[in-house]
Amino acid sequence: MRVLHALLEHNHEFVTSREYEKFRTDKFPDKNLAVLACMDARLVELLPKAMGLKNGDAKLIKNAGALVTHPWGSVMRSLLIAVYQLRAEEICVVAHHDCGMNAIDPKQVLENAVERGVSPDTLSTLRAAGINLDGWLKGFDNVEDSVRHTVDTVRHHPLMPRDIPVHGLVISPATGALTVIVDGYADTPDLP
């Protein structure tokens, strides 16, 4: 059975048996928290459990590496919407050890793209248009430095209120242990 068909079959059973009832909540996070985390498959259940989060507690935004790569991109927009429209009062950036974005090789990614059918002419056209594909695909060399950089980008965004603590953490994908890299309370002078 193909993945989509298996998902839809499971969904039908899930809805029919009313399993959704235990997950009911509204759109506002009960813990007034937004979390930016890596999309790593090991963190799907581990991250919320390790942080004590249940359905409805937080706005969870995931991407490769828990990175804000552009101050006007969709991740930053999501964090701002969480703060201004959805009552988030704190933000946690949570990266992890053994991340696929650590020292990723953009050249290899682009070679894989060509092997999968992307035309080398397309890559040339994008580069000629001024798109720095290597920079766009680059990850990071050190997870703690990456967390600090992302926290700094979020914290100092011109539209982010100064009274929002932005924390930076690294989680172990093996044990769920959290290490604080940036304590947002210490870095937020406008807190009451």
**pLDDT tens figures, 150-162:** 999 999 999 999 9
How high is the pLDDT of residue 103? 81
Which two three-digit tokens encode residue 104? 């990723």
What does the pLDDT average to over 114-122? 96
Mean pLDDT within 91-120 = 95
The percentage of residues in the chain with a pLDDT greater than 70, rounded to a whole number, is: 98
Q: What is the pLDDT of residue 187?
A: 78
Radius of gyration of the chain (CA): 19
Residue 57 has pLDDT above 90, yes or no: yes
In whole angstroms, give the CA distance from residue 54 to residue 49.
Answer: 8
Q: Which residues pair with 97 in a beta bridge?
A: none
Look at phi and psi of residue 66 and say left if phi exceeds 0, alpha if psi is from -120 to 50, else beta: left
- The single residue listed with the structure tokens 């828990």 is 66
Query: DSSP per residue over 66-83, as a string?
Result: S----TTSHHHHHHHHHH
For 109, the token pair is 């990614």
Are the beta carbons of 147 and 73 closer than 8 angstroms? Answer: no
Structure confidence at residue 190 (pLDDT): 66
pLDDT of residue 188: 72
In the prediction, which pLDDT does 191 show?
67
- From the list 36, 121, 40, the residue with the least C-alpha distance to 74 is 36
> Whole-model pTM?
0.91
| Distance (Å, whole) CA 106 – CA 131 | 13
* Average pLDDT, integer, range 76-85: 98
**Cβ within 8 Å of residue 189, ≥6 positions away:** 162
